[in-house]
Copies of this chain bind each other. A is one copy, B any other.
Amino acid sequence: MSEFDLIARHFCRATPQTILGPGDDGALLRPAPGMELAVTSDMLVAGVHFLPDADPRDLGWKTLAVNLSDLAAMGANPRWALLALSLPTADENWLTRFAEGLFACARTFGVDLVGGDTTSGSLNLCVTALGEIPVGQALRRDGAQAGDDLWISGQPGLAALGLLHLQGKTELPEPWQTLCVKRLSAPQPRIKLGLALRPLAHAAIDISDGLLADLGHIARRSNLKAQVRLNCLPRLPEGVSRSLALEAILSGGDDYELGFAAPPAHRPTLARVATELNLPLWRIGSFEAVGAGETAGEVRLLDPDGQPVAWERRGYEHFVAA
């Protein structure tokens, strides 16, 4: 099978939103009038971002989902994606399963796969995703304001616990085991939440490297500090040690929930959004002005009395020893 057969067999499907899809030098897209484009690329490497024996169907889903999560965090409506794929061998079964997962995610979120590249090499997956946002309405990281509430969606930390379970480092009881492994293998980009937040949030980010680390990005780019109250965090999984669960919530990556800043006036509306989307939204802290001697971007953990709690590990970073 040549790369051309491989692409034709596995990755060429209808692209109804697209002027010209796969098969030319590039794809041709026509953004709607009055729209800006949000564009993002993510690269997933075997052994770094996923276990080498990961189910290829899950991998197909996740490869696209992590990019759509970035679009969600911008408040964008996802429309197009490109896949660049480096593979050691053209394994027909693997490709069939991978494409199943990829297109399941594409269908779910209304995305056309419009092009990319396929090459031999060690397993490496790179997706670029494009979405539309009405001009000026994007949720950026730099828009948070002092006094904004700090919110988080869903249940961050589950993916990290799922990974620890798969690695044999902890034993999760059911139903957490199934839930955590599922969250790791097939994360749900929070597209609907991102769209709902456009008129409500001042800033947003998706939690991919760890809650504290990612909230720090909003704080730093908004020239603020953030405060997270331990007693406001989402419910911890039962049957797991409290310290492990806390570590997973605060520093675990790979959840793809949204963290965001919104003014207190929007609390009632956000409660309605949570109900409509059937997705919990937790108000876990606030963004505050930086005082004398403080550094923008700092994220402080506070105990129920408002006293700072020491916390070491801040999230996953490449090229830094853990």
Contact = CB atoms under 8 A, between A and B. Distances in A.
Interface of A: 1-4, 6, 19-20, 23-31, 33, 36-43, 45-49, 70-71, 73-74, 76, 80, 82-87, 89-90, 114-122, 124, 126, 128-131, 133, 135, 138, 140-142, 204-206, 221, 317-320
A31 B37 contact: yes
A118 B318 contact: yes
Contact of A115 (B41, B86, B118): B41
Contacts of A27: 38-40
Contacts of A28: 36-39, 74, 133, 138, 140
Contacts of A42: 84, 117
A29 B130 CA distance: 10
Identify the interface centre among A19, A39, A116: most chain B CB within 10 Å of its CB. Answer: A39
A319 B41 contact: no
Nearest to A130: B39
Nearest to A84: B43
Query: How many copies of the polypeptide does the oligomer hold?
Result: 2
23 contacts: A1-B319, A2-B317, A2-B318, A3-B317, A3-B319, A19-B138, A24-B140, A25-B70, A28-B37, A28-B74, A33-B33, A39-B128, A40-B115, A41-B117, A41-B126, A43-B84, A43-B117, A47-B121, A48-B120, A82-B128, A84-B128, A121-B124, A124-B126
A36 B48 contact: no
B3 A318 contact: yes
A26 B204 CA distance: 11
A38 B23 contact: no
A117 to B, nearest CB: 5
B36 A121 contact: no
A136 to B, nearest CB: 9
Given A3-B317, A20-B140, A43-B117, A36 B25 contact: no
A138 B18 CA distance: 14
A74 B25 contact: yes
B6 A319 contact: yes
A205 B23 CA distance: 11
